[in-house]
């Protein structure tokens, strides 16, 4: 599951000109996949609605809905 998620994340476009002032730091795909997999396995996001309230580059948003 984690490797498939990482592959999906690697295909997403990154923000072209990230703004440090807006804290648009890109989360590397392996780290984002690890974070989301652990959250899912611990039951933190399973069967829940996940909202991204404007954090960073939004890399975790589409995957959290899986």
**Minimal CA–CA distance to 34: which of 3, 13, 10?**
3
Domain of 49?
2-64
Predicted pLDDT of residue 34: 94
Q: How confident is the model at residue 19 (pLDDT cuts 50, 70, 90)?
A: confident
Number of structural domains, the chain? 1
- pTM for the full predicted model: 0.69
Mean pLDDT score of the chain: 80
Per-residue pLDDT tens over the stretch 33-52: 998 899 999 999 888 887 76
Phi, psi of 38, rounded to the nearest 5 degrees = -65, -40
Q: How confident is the model at residue 24 (pLDDT cuts 50, 70, 90)?
A: confident
Percentage, residues of the chain above pLDDT 90: 24
């Amino acid at each position: 599951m984690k490797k498939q998620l990482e592959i999906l994340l690697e295909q997403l476009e990154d923000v072209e000109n990230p703004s440090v002032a807006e804290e648009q730091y890109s989360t590397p795909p392996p780290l984002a996949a690890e974070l989301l997999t652990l959250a899912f396995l611990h039951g933190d996001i399973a069967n829940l609605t996940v909202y991204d309230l404007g954090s960073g580059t939004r890399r975790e948003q589409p995957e959290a809905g899986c």
